[in-house]
């Protein structure tokens, strides 16, 4: 089984999802979506968790990299075309790492991967090393900022247990190097948070994470429920969105066609307040969150990954950690656009 300290950012983000009232929005229930399990292919990635996935616009496929299997850390690269998985044999590949983040530079279409071993670019079916990773920390997150047209990296941590130090640095990638930004107002130090380009607006969103303080059960750290927007040069706290339960290690994907964020799975409080895997699906349109009720869906899991397939207009999910490591492929498709 994988080591519990092995976490992949974006697939292992943490957010406290707390219901809100008044001006902070509301939460509802909808059946406007469905999950369909893909037929088990002859060739597919091995069972894993803590991998990353992203849509490759040039190849029009969903890209999957790395993760951890029962044998240890992985560095393989795969693509999904909606019918079959295919492993891509590359001449170079990022080094095995405990923490990985991935994002697309939308202005250029290039995919950037960052881990504690360096910064890599995916282009034309090959990985190319660019530079070191800023800060040399773990459990950071990054995403593309539409306003500055740069990839922004925030947070992370160093050390373990009581010796863990949480970071609050903001870095930007200008397609040549990382530069630290001086931001006077910014989110609190944290790791295992989520960052994404908001599908409902031209801004970058950061949400949740863990910082110091105990959360209870077997979880270390304090779960955060705040949301922040990066506006090109500064951070501004979002006052309007919170979610309905407490989760960590969930997966998200931005449906850019409908302007919705899709969230699935994670680890939350179960019976008697003990940590338990979550199998719910949520959507957000920038104003409200609602839970999707479906007749079939992936089993409860955490440390999974998803990506939105822009060509086929579906969210693709692979693997994760449930009662054991998983290697199944699922696709989520909305049946209608929720209001807002």
Q: What is the DSSP string of 171-185?
A: EEE-SS-EEEE--SS
Q: In the numeric block, which tokens belong to residue 320?
A: 């994760």
pLDDT higher than 90, residue 247: no
From the number of C-beta atoms within 10 Å of its C-beta (0-12, 13-18, 19+), residue 166 rates as buried
- Measured CA distances, 188 to 8, 155, 206, 222, 223 (Å): 20, 9, 11, 12, 12
Could you tell me the pLDDT band of residue 209, with boundaries at 50, 70 and 90? confident
> pTM to 2 decimals?
0.88
- Measured CA distances, 179 to 151, 173, 174, 176 (Å): 11, 7, 8, 10
Cβ proximity of 15 and 224 under 8 Å: yes
- CB-side exposure of 59: number of CA atoms within 13 Å? 21
pLDDT higher than 70, residue 105: yes
Could you tell me the pLDDT band of residue 84, with boundaries at 50, 70 and 90? very high
Which of 37-41, 141-145, 201-205, 206-210 has the least mean pLDDT? 206-210
From the number of C-beta atoms within 10 Å of its C-beta (0-12, 13-18, 19+), residue 121 rates as middle
Q: In the numeric block, which tokens belong to residue 78?
A: 């795969």
Query: CA–CA separation, 132 vs 139, rounded Å?
Result: 16
pLDDT higher than 60, residue 48: yes
pLDDT higher than 70, residue 72: yes
pLDDT score recorded for residue 210 = 78
Q: What are the beta bridge partners of residue 203?
A: none
Percent of the chain with pLDDT over 90: 52
Query: CA–CA separation, 110 vs 124, rounded Å?
Result: 9
Q: Which domains does the chain have, with CATH numbers?
A: 13-334 (2.120.10.80)
Query: CA–CA separation, 52 vs 62, rounded Å?
Result: 10
pLDDT higher than 90, residue 278: no
Could you tell me the pLDDT band of residue 249, with boundaries at 50, 70 and 90? confident
CA 172 to chain centre: 18
Query: CA–CA separation, 226 vs 249, rounded Å?
Result: 16
Cβ proximity of 259 and 200 under 8 Å: yes
């Amino acid at each position: 089984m994988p080591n519990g300290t092995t976490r992949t950012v974006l697939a292992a983000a943490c957010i406290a999802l707390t219901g809100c009232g008044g001006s902070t929005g509301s939460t509802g229930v909808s059946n406007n979506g469905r999950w369909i399990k893909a037929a088990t292919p002859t060739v597919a990635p091995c069972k894993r968790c803590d991998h990353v996935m992203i849509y490759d616009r040039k190849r029009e496929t969903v890209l999957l990299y790395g993760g951890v299997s029962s044998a240890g850390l992985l560095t393989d690269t795969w693509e999904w075309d909606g019918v079959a998985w295919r492993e891509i044999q590359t001449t170079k590949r990022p080094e095995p790492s405990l923490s990985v983040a991935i994002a697309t530079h939308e202005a250029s279409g290039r995919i950037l991967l960052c881990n504690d071993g360096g910064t890599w670019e995916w282009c034309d079916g090959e990985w190319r090393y660019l530079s070191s990773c800023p800060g040399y920390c773990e459990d950071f997150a990054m995403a593309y900022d539409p306003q500055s047209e740069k990839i922004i990296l925030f947070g992370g941590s160093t050390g373990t247990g009581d010796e863990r130090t949480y970071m609050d640095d903001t870095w930007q990638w200008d397609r040549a190097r990382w530069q630290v930004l001086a931001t006077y107002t910014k989110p609190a130090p944290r790791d295992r948070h989520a960052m994404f380009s908001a599908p409902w607006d031209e801004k970058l969103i950061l949400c949740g994470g863990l910082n110091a303080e105990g959360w209870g059960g077997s979880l270390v750290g304090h779960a955060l429920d705040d949301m922040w927007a990066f506006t090109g040069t500064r951070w501004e706290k979002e006052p309007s969105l919170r979610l309905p339960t407490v989760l960590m290690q969930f997966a998200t994907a931005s449906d850019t066609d409908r302007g919705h964020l899709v969230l699935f799975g994670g680890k939350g409080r179960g019976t008697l307040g003990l940590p338990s895997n979550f199998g719910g699906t949520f959507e957000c349109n920038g104003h409200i969150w609602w839970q999707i009720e479906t007749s079939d869906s992936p089993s409860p899991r955490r440390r999974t990954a998803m990506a939105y397939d822009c060509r086929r207009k579906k969210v693709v999910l692979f693997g994760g950690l449930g009662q054991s490591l998983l290697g199944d492929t699922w696709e989520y498709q909305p049946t209608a656009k929720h209001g807002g």
